[in-house]
Chains A and B, each alone.
Chain A
């Protein structure tokens, strides 16, 4: 373990985001990484800056979420945020990144394309996953360093020029692969010891290890995603990287107060009172004499709800024990559209990403 997490940023809701410019969003598959990463990007952009959202798995998750056609390999403005801010999206894939790399360092455009046709690029990034990962993390860290007026080489522009992007958010691989993905240096250790890839990896690692980078974990209030979060955080801390927030997604509020929940879970719900209430409500459905039976049906639903909620409370308690701020995002009915995204973005802003 490292001792960095004991530093000054351990507490307070804003601590997970303060001072960060590269936000890496991971979590178990299907927990809402893409949704949360996009909402976080929107939330950061709402302060008025330009934010880049980088997707690295070649799955067009952001395009699907935004209801747009597949996005090309370029930084494209996709969402305008309040206060003049904007979210740009880069749908990065390893193959395109490798070709760009070959062209940049060797001027090998045609050969690169031929290699692609032969499947050799796919092959190379497969046998050397470190190569694939360093190219992808490299795209994000380059955007973090980029300064106004210059592209690519930050040396082209004065070191005090403002940053091109206020922040970069990465929709990263799932928890099971995140440590390996970010451990760029050791991943390329088996590859060339010198040369551009090596230098590239060093520069990437410098950004990832810096105080500018936070790894956020998305989870649900369920056993397996919480377990993966716990394991993932330990791994990331073990690498000496900074963990940001634990984003608890799809939270539904309880419909009863604490005492009511406890009673319902224990099967001690006051069904007589429930039946009286149903009777007072004059439901068509519950014809005379059926209030009791209806109350029994609803009591069973309430009991399941209460049990579920207690389980969620237990998981939340475990997540709190991880020592990082929790950011809770509500479960939105009917899926996530643009309005819903703005709603989630406000949730991020109110819970610490707003400063």
Chain B
């Protein structure tokens, strides 16, 4: 009949074992935009804390109400304690990444005060630190490196920037690095180097055109930025590389988050491949916002049968409530079948990847109670597991939509 009873054994991602192991020092949540990375990161941090870890979560762009519920009213770039109930065995800190401020701090740390002042005041630096794509990823890595060094926490959960592609998190720092490495910057800002001759156009023509387009002041700013930044850059790049290597150590666990639609699952698949290439340890895949079937006889009621029954009742003009419920159920079964197919496709390409499924909630996740619910779903508690490993507990705590 349907594929819903397909009990292909998929290994479950054992979230509690991951969070409880003292060897786990860093958890990185990545995935395409809007899939629930921030929610997952916060839920993992909270669960770890309540189970005894000293955890800190670095969030990037959290939903406003979620941030408020964690006491993050302002973006101040410093981990703040999140008040937990007394039953919590560990502690939780949370922060919102402020990329500009992180960048400023790095500059101040690596340059002498005079140079730092020059750099920070440079209009080109303003652009770079606020709107260069890649800066946010680079700064997330930087912040991760800083927190790791401070040793105040034994578990750091990192959320990644809301980029279009999950891979940006790995690629962007290098892109910024290449950019700052300055060859091209130097080339453009000191055209007399002769390289312009390669262009086959007279140097004067080119430089005057460039000057006309971007303005002489702009070139001057660029030149002074380059010379000021040059000395700082070495330390900069070195640190990014160190953090990158940190991500390859066994203490790090990547959690790839996806929602069951074609685009997000494709991104997740790319990311899983990429982690393998980079020797970065994948803990598993979270499929968020799924639509599991009920745990009782409803799981056996297929969409065709439900629709036919709804049609009959509607014709008879009786039991409008059952008609609506049957139609709704038929729609849910179809959604579930589509999600099951997507999941099967991904797992056939990546055998052995561990999976945790989190059902879509009817409401947004905007407080600690909501996060706790997501955390227990991640850990496979309370009838929230995916098919094949379903436990019968259907206490129906309202974790589903549509």
Closest Cβ of chain B to A158, distance in Å, is 31
Q: Is the CB of A305 within 8 A of B401?
A: yes
Q: Which residues of B contact A131 (CB under 8 A)?
A: 213-214
A268 at the interface (CB under 8 A from B): no
- Determine the chain B residues whose CB is within 8 A of the CB of A129 once the complex forms: 127, 131
Residue of B nearest to A277 (CB): B322
Bound-state Cα–Cα, A322 to B70, Å = 28
In the bound complex, CA of A16 to CA of B300 (Å): 48
| Residue A73 at the chain B interface, CB threshold 8 Å | no
Known: A29-B33, A114-B201, A131-B213. A297 touches B322 (CB 8 A): no
Q: A127-B222, A129-B131, A192-B214 are known contacts. Are A304 and B398 too (CB-CB below 8 A)?
A: yes
CA distance A293 to B392 in the complex (A): 13
CB nearest to B206 among chain A residues: A111
Q: Are B324 and A111 touching (Cβ within 8 A)?
A: no
A227 touches B312 (CB 8 A): no
In the complex, what residue of chain A is closest to B164 when comparing beta carbons?
A29
Whether the pair B332, A307 counts as a contact (CB closer than 8 A) is no
> Once the chains bind, are A276 and B319 in contact (CB under 8 Å)?
yes
Give Cα A228–Cα B367 distance, bound, in whole angstroms.
20
Could you say which interface size class chain B belongs to? Answer: 35 or more
Flag if B364 contacts A227 (CB, 8 Å): no
Q: Which of B210, B215, B301, B322 contacts A190 (CB 8 A)?
A: B215
A197 to B218 alpha-carbon distance, docked (Å) = 14
B354 at the interface (CB under 8 A from A): no
Known interface pairs A111-B206, A120-B184, A131-B214. Does A285 touch B305 (Cβ–Cβ under 8 Å)? yes
The docked-state distance in angstroms from the alpha carbon of A256 to that of B319 is 12
Docked CA distance A108–B202 (Å): 11
* Cα separation A242 to B294 with both chains bound (whole Å): 48
User: Is A308's CB under 8 angstroms from B362's CB?
Assistant: yes
One of B184, B294, B322, B396 near A278 (C-beta < 8 A): B322
Decide if A293 touches B297 in the complex (CB within 8 Å).
yes
Can you give 9 contacting A-B residue pairs, CB < 8 Å? A108-B201, A120-B184, A123-B185, A190-B217, A192-B213, A278-B326, A280-B318, A281-B322, A301-B325
Q: B329 within 8 Å of A by Cβ?
A: yes
Is B132's beta carbon under 8 Å from chain A?
yes
If A129-B127, A256-B324, A276-B319 touch, whether A297 touches B33 (CB-CB below 8 Å) is no
Q: Is the interface of A mostly helix, strand, loop or mixed?
A: helix
| In the complex, chain B residues whose CB is within 8 Å of the CB of A59 | 164
Assess whether B85 is interfacial by the CB under 8 Å rule. no
Taking beta carbons and an 8 Å cutoff, which residues of A are in contact with B? 28-30, 59, 102, 106, 108, 110-111, 114-115, 118-120, 123-124, 126-129, 131, 180, 190-193, 195-197, 222-224, 227, 252, 255-256, 260, 269-270, 273-274, 276-278, 280-286, 290, 293-294, 296-305, 307-308, 311, 333, 335
Among candidates A193, A196, A277, A301, residue contacting B294 with C-beta atoms closer than 8 Å: A301
Instruction: List A contacts of B205 (CB < 8 A).
Output: 106, 108, 111
User: Which single member of A28, A114, A193, A285 contacts B301 (CB below 8 Å)?
Assistant: A285
The reply to whether B294 and A283 contact each other, CB–CB distance below 8 Å, is no
Q: Which residues of B contact A110 (CB under 8 A)?
A: 199-201
Contact assessment for A297 and B297 in the assembled complex, using a CB-CB cutoff below 8 Å: yes
A311 and chain B: residue at smallest CB distance:
B363
Main secondary structure on B side of the interface with A:
helix
B212 and A285 form a contact (CB under 8 A): no
Shortest C-beta distance, A121 to chain B (Å), equals 11
Interface bits B110-133 vs A (CB < 8 Å: 1, else 0): 000000000000011001100110
Q: Is the CB of B127 within 8 A of A127?
A: yes
Determine if B222 and A301 form an interchain contact, defined as CB atoms under 8 angstroms apart: no
Q: Residues of B contacting A28 with CB < 8 Å?
A: 34
Report yes or no: B319 in contact with A273, Cβ–Cβ below 8 A.
yes
Scoring B residues 194 to 228 as 1 if CB is less than 8 Å from chain A, else 0, what string do you get? 00001111000110011111111110001000000
- With a CB–CB cut-off of 8 A, which chain B residues contact A108? 201, 205-206, 209
Of the candidates A190, A223, A285, the one whose C-beta lies within 8 Å of that of B364 is A223
Given that A195-B212, A277-B322, A311-B363 are contacting pairs, would A227 and B294 also be in contact in the complex, using a CB cutoff of 8 Å?
no
Q: Could you list 7 further interchain pairs (A-B, Cβ under 8 angstroms) beyond the known A131-B214, A281-B319?
A: A29-B33, A110-B200, A114-B201, A123-B179, A297-B394, A304-B398, A304-B399
**Which residues of B sit under 8 angstroms from A118, Cβ to Cβ?**
184, 187, 199
B209 neighbours in A (Cβ, 8 Å): 102, 106, 108, 111
**Complex Cα–Cα for A196 and B402 (A):** 55
Cβ A126 vs Cβ B132 within 8 A = yes
CA distance A142 to B265 in the complex (A): 39
Judge whether B366 is part of the interface by a CB distance below 8 angstroms.
Answer: yes
Taking a contact as CB atoms under 8 Å apart, the answer to whether B321 and A277 are in contact is: yes
Given the known inter-chain contacts A30-B33, A280-B319, please indicate yes or no for A297 contacting B294, CB distance below 8 A.
yes
Q: Is the CB of A277 within 8 A of B63?
A: no
Q: What 8 A-B pairs have minimum CB-CB distances, sorted nearest first?
A: A277-B322, A297-B298, A277-B319, A297-B294, A307-B362, A111-B201, A192-B215, A281-B309
| Binary interface encoding of chain B residues 313-334 relative to chain A, with 1 for a CB under 8 A from any of its CBs, else 0 | 1001011011111111100101
